[in-house]
Structure 1
Amino acid sequence: MSTSRVRVRPRHCDAQAMVHAARYYEFFEDAFLDWLDLHAGGYRQLRERTGVDLVIVTSGCEYRAPARLDDDLTLDCEPERVGRTSLTLRCAVRRADEVLAIGRTTYVCVRDGTPVPVPDALRVAP
C-alpha cells in the first residue's frame, strides 16, 4: 500500500466548493503514480526496465461524502487484484477517518500494443 496526500484547492471544486466528481480520477491517478514510485521505482523506470506500458481499461468511483475546499485528504492505494496481464488498484479517499470515496482502476500491461504478463515489480500481494 502507499499513502498520498492532497489538499483540496479551488481548481478541484465546483460552484458549491465541493470537489467535482471528475477530479477524484485525477487524485486516483496521482496516488497510483505514488504507488508505482514505491513498488517499481516509478513509471519511467518500469518502462525502461520492462518495456511495459499501463493502459486503463476500466475505472469507477463510489462517492460516499463530499470533500470540500481546503480539506486535507489522504489517499490509500493498494492492489485489489493481480491477474495475468492486468492489475486492479483500489484507492480510498479519506478526510481523517471518514472514507469519502473509493476508486478502482484496472490497468492492462502492454508492450507494443499487445497485452503482456504483469511485471514482477507490480505483483505486490493484494
Structure 2
Amino acid sequence: MERVSVSRVRVKPRHCDAQSMVHAIRYYEFFEDAFLDWLDRFAGGYAGVRASGADLVIVENGCEYRGSARLDDLLAVETRPARIGNRSLTMAFIVRRDEETVAEARATYVAVADGRSVPLPAPLSAAPGQQPDV
C-alpha cells in the first residue's frame, strides 16, 4: 500500500495575479502545505519528525506547469514519496482541478541535526511497498 494523501485548496484572491490566475510561486506554498498534511497522516506530523531530533530542509525542488488555476477553483494536491534514501526523501506532487492536471512537482528534503545530514527518522525511512535507496 502506497502512502498517498490528497489535500484540497480553494484558490483565494491572495494566490492570484492581476489576471486572476494562480501566481507560479504560490504552487510552492500548496506543495509545502500538502507535505505537512502528508506528514500528519503518515509520520506523526512535523512535530513528530522534530521530536526524533531531526529537522527537514529542502535541498531541491521544481515544478512543471501544465495548465492554469484561477480564482475560486478547487484544487486537489496529491502527495506521495517518489524516492526514499537514507538521509533524504523526494516527494512528488500533482495538482489537479477535477481531472485536469494543472501542475506536477518534486521536492527533496534532507534530514538534518546540528547543521549536518542525519538518517531519516523511522516514520519516513520506508514507505509500504518501497525499499529505501542505499
Shorter-chain TM-score bucket reads over 0.9
SS of 1:75's equivalent in the other structure is strand
Partner of 2:5: 2
Amino acid at match of 2:103: A
Partner of 2:99: 97
Shift of 1:119: 1.7
Partner of 1:75: 77
Partner of 1:27: 30
Q: For residues 42-85 of structure 1, what are the alpha-carbon distances to aligned partners after superposition, in whole Å with 9 as ceiling and x for unaligned? A: 1012211x111001000100000000000000000000001111
SS of 2:86's equivalent in the other structure is coil
Shift of 1:24: 0.1
SS of 2:89's equivalent in the other structure is strand
* Runs of 4+, deviation exceeding 2 Å: none
**Structure 2 residue 122 is the aligned partner of structure 1 residue 120:** yes
Query: How many pairs are equivalent?
Result: 125
Shift of 1:117: 1.1
Partner of 1:16: 19
Q: Calculate the aligned-residue CA RMSD, in Å.
A: 0.9
Amino acid at match of 2:72: D
Q: 5+ residue gaps in structure 1?
A: none
SS of 1:81's equivalent in the other structure is strand
Q: 5+ residue gaps in structure 2?
A: none
Shift of 1:107: 0.3
Shift of 1:41: 1.2
1:36 pairs with 19, 35, 39, which one? 39
Amino acid at match of 1:82: I
**What is the percentage of aligned positions where both structures have the same residue?**
61
